[in-house]
């Protein structure tokens, strides 16, 4: 932002001086932003106002749709106002009614902005505080005409006002505002690979944000492209759930000359209002760790009924965190690379859980599997903690592409930027750190240059194959080996207290207890011999399978010295000793098993009945991205002598302070 636009933004925000005392600081933006929009629209329409008013007179009897087209044509804009009033002619006596009439005279899309700002309520509060006339007069004297401030500059001014609003209401800012440095980084990562294409004359691209908030990503995309090629066109699309944020975003896009019918209000997951549309660039900062219970039925129905023809074909994450739903939604918005379209790129900010939550076969793992096996994941950047207004948790920027250059195919770049940050001069909520221009540039250069030597030398970047994040979860079984204790009083008491025992016939109960007394005092190390001896002694009394199972449950115990129990000639597994091993996808499971398992448990085996549904091989395929593990650096503990020295120093300091207190 240059000095002129910054000073203009400061001048407009100075209206807050009038509001101080009658309004909370967090309310300033709800008044200043819509008034700024109103004044800008008024200035934009000034040149065609007489033409519009003439059309109003001549088209009064026409059908609404036809009349609307004529009025838009007369205004020469995507909006119009049919009132003879403007901010300088509202008067003082009936200013509230006049201002309300003036705002209602805007065309539907523009009028909707003021409705979602709850502008009517703000006007009433200003009138009640006897401030409405003063505020109106202030804005009436700001020159926001296109001749004085073009669309690009006006967009920067409005962004500055949005930022000030975010900072003044930082108790809720994190829900609706993404910090500017994070927006800039994510946008730069997504756009940087296409810099050459974007500098061509007449370049036209589309950008989409399904969690648009106040439009930060859309605005930053426009700014980035403007810096590269001010003749290029970027068409913006977005959807936002929060009405106030939606109003700000729509106003910002209107000010920048965008088609605001492309900005939608509603829940993206349950009601995609841009269904079927695909885009060149997709950017999003969805809410961290927020559940999706409210839209659970709609999402599950789409998953089950549409499969891969819908948005959620790969799988569904647990209901407690919907982050990966937004990622799949964005993937559905990617356009396939053709000779006419280059394909799409995605930048999305997620917390840590999408990297590793969920084991093999889970919804989360299947989503990661789809992304990696389709070779969509290009890079992940770990951000420092304390970067956002409302949370200090670790966050990550995922960059996805369906048109990777040859050197990046089958590869994923991880950049650990967690230590690249500068301290904020003043904390804003939970945001205590930011990325300065040099830090941001370093990350983007590591990503875009993709020089192996430079990446390795950096110490914070590593390249992996997509298969490095995959594994097969094999089930390791160990044989059931039971030793029996027919005379153990505690075991016999537990047997007779079991509800299943009481359901047996009394004659059978008596017979079993009698023959158990025939066994010696030593434990029996064979289930086969125990059963044979028992049935022989019972004679004509049949031993039902449930009764024998009950005896095994209470009188038997796993014992490595016992004979392995068999069923149909094969060892019977002990469910209590069942375990799982995650075998790296690039490793042979038999070699891994022989190397890592058999030396410790020689009688173990792999359950080959558990296989992956997709490739039919033994073991269920899973994917996780253990980011921190790949960048872990061992820090040896301090020596005992050093710790003792520190303790002695602290003790002396405490004793000195106590001496001062008693003196």
pLDDT for 80 beyond 50: yes
Q: Is 457 helix (H, G, I), strand (E, B) or coil?
A: helix
pLDDT for 294 beyond 80: yes
- The arithmetic mean of pLDDT across residues 455-469, rounded, is 93
Sorting pLDDT into bands at 50, 70 and 90, what band is 200? confident
Please name which of 181, 174, 193 lies closest in space to residue 346, comparing C-alpha atoms. Answer: 193
pLDDT for 463 beyond 80: yes
- The arithmetic mean of pLDDT across residues 64-81, rounded, is 90
pLDDT for the residue numbered 175: 47
Please name which of 325, 363, 367, 331 lies closest in space to residue 347, comparing C-alpha atoms. Answer: 331
pLDDT for the residue numbered 510: 93
pLDDT for the residue numbered 3: 58
Share of the chain above pLDDT 70, in %: 98
- The arithmetic mean of pLDDT across residues 457-467, rounded, is 93
pLDDT for 225 beyond 90: no
Sorting pLDDT into bands at 50, 70 and 90, what band is 172? very low
pLDDT for the residue numbered 73: 93
pLDDT for 520 beyond 70: yes
- pLDDT mean across residues, the chain: 90
Share of the chain above pLDDT 90, in %: 67
Sorting pLDDT into bands at 50, 70 and 90, what band is 281? very high
pLDDT for the residue numbered 241: 92
Please name which of 476, 475, 481 lies closest in space to residue 572, comparing C-alpha atoms. Answer: 481
Supply the DSSP symbol for 24: -
Please name which of 291, 194, 275, 196 lies closest in space to residue 239, comparing C-alpha atoms. Answer: 275
Q: For strands 377-382 and 411-416, give the pairing.
A: parallel
pLDDT for 327 beyond 90: yes
- The arithmetic mean of pLDDT across residues 370-395, rounded, is 92
Please report, for the chain, how many H helices and E strands are present, in that order: 29, 19
Please name which of 270, 253, 539, 284 lies closest in space to residue 397, comparing C-alpha atoms. Answer: 284
Most confident by average pLDDT, 16-20, 26-30, 211-215: 16-20
pLDDT for the residue numbered 301: 96
The model's pTM: 0.84
Cα 512 from chain centroid (whole Å) = 62
- The arithmetic mean of pLDDT across residues 450-468, rounded, is 90
Cα 209 from chain centroid (whole Å) = 13
- The arithmetic mean of pLDDT across residues 129-156, rounded, is 90
Q: What are phi and psi of 398, to 5 degrees?
A: -95, 130
- The arithmetic mean of pLDDT across residues 161-169, rounded, is 76
Most confident by average pLDDT, 28-42, 198-212, 286-300, 368-382: 368-382
Sorting pLDDT into bands at 50, 70 and 90, what band is 602? very high
pLDDT for the residue numbered 636: 82
């Amino acid at each position: 932002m240059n000095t002129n636009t910054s000073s203009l933004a400061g001048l407009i925000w100075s209206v807050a001086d009038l509001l101080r005392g009658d309004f909370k600081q967090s309310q300033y933006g709800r008044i200043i932003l819509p008034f700024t929009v109103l004044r800008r629209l008024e200035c934009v329409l000034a040149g065609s106002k007489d033409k519009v008013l003439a059309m109003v007179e001549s088209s009064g009897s026409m059908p609404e749709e036809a009349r609307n087209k004529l009025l838009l044509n007369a205004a020469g804009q995507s909006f119009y106002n049919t009132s003879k009033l403007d901010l300088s002619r509202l008067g003082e006596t009936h200013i509230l009614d006049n201002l309300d009439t003036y705002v209602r005279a805007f065309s539907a899309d523009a009028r909707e902005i003021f409705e979602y700002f709850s502008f009517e309520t703000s006007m009433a509060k200003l009138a009640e505080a006897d401030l409405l006339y003063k505020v109106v007069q202030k804005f009436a004297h700001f020159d926001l005409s296109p001749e004085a401030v073009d669309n690009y500059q006006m967009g920067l001014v409005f962004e500055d006002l949005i930022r000030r609003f975010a900072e003044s209401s930082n108790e809720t800012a994190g829900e609706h505002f993404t910090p500017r440095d994070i927006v800039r980084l994510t946008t730069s990562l997504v756009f940087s690979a296409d810099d050459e294409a974007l500098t061509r004359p007449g370049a036209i691209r589309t950008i989409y944000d399904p969690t648009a908030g106040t439009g930060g990503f859309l605005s930053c995309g426009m700014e980035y492209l403007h810096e590269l090629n001010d003749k290029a066109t970027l068409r913006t699309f977005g959807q936002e759930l929060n009405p106030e944020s939606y109003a700000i975003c729509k106003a910002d896009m209107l000010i920048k000359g965008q088609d605001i019918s492309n900005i939608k209000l509603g829940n993206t997951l349950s009601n995609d209002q841009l269904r079927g549309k695909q885009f060149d660039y997709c950017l999003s900062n969805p809410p961290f760790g927020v559940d999706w219970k409210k839209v659970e039925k709609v999402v599950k129905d789409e998953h089950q009924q549409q499969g891969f023809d819908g948005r959620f074909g790969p799988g569904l994450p647990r209901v407690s965190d919907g982050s990966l739903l937004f990622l799949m939604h964005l993937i559905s918005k990617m356009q396939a690379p053709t000779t006419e379209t280059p394909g799409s790129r995605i930048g999305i900010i997620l917390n840590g859980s999408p990297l590793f939550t969920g084991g093999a076969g889970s919804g989360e793992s299947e989503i990661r599997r789809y992304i990696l096996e389709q070779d969509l994941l290009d890079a992940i950047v770990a951000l420092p903690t304390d970067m956002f207004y409302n949370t200090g948790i670790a966050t990550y920027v995922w960059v996805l592409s369906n048109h990777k250059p040859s050197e990046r195919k089958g590869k994923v770049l991880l950049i650990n930027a967690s230590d690249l940050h500068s301290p904020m001069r003043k904390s804003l909520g939970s945001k205590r750190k930011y990325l300065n221009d040099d830090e941001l540039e370093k990350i983007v250069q590591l990503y875009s240059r993709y020089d192996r030597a430079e990446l390795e030398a950096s110490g914070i970047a590593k390249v992996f194959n997509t298969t490095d994040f995959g594994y097969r979860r094999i089930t390791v079984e160990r044989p059931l080996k039971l030793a029996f204790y027919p005379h153990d009083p505690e075991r016999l008491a537990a047997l007779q207290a079991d509800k299943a025992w009481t359901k047996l016939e009394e004659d059978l109960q008596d017979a079993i207890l009698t023959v158990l007394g025939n066994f010696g005092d030593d434990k029996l190390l064979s289930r086969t011999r125990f059963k044979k001896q028992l049935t022989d002694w019972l004679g004509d009394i049949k031993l039902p399978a449930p009764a024998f199972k009950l005896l095994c449950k209470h009188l038997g115990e796993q014992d490595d010295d016992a004979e392995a129990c068999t069923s149909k000639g094969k060892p019977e597994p002990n469910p209590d000793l069942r375990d799982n091993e995650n075998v790296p996808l690039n490793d042979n499971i038999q070699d891994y098993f022989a190397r890592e398992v058999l030396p410790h448990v020689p009688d173990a085996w792999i359950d080959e009945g558990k296989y992956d549904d997709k490739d039919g091989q033994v073991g269920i395929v899973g994917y996780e991205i253990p980011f921190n593990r790949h960048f872990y650096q061992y820090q040896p503990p301090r020596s005992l002598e050093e710790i003792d020295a520190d303790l002695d120093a602290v003790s002396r300091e405490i004793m000195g302070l106590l001496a001062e207190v008693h003196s």
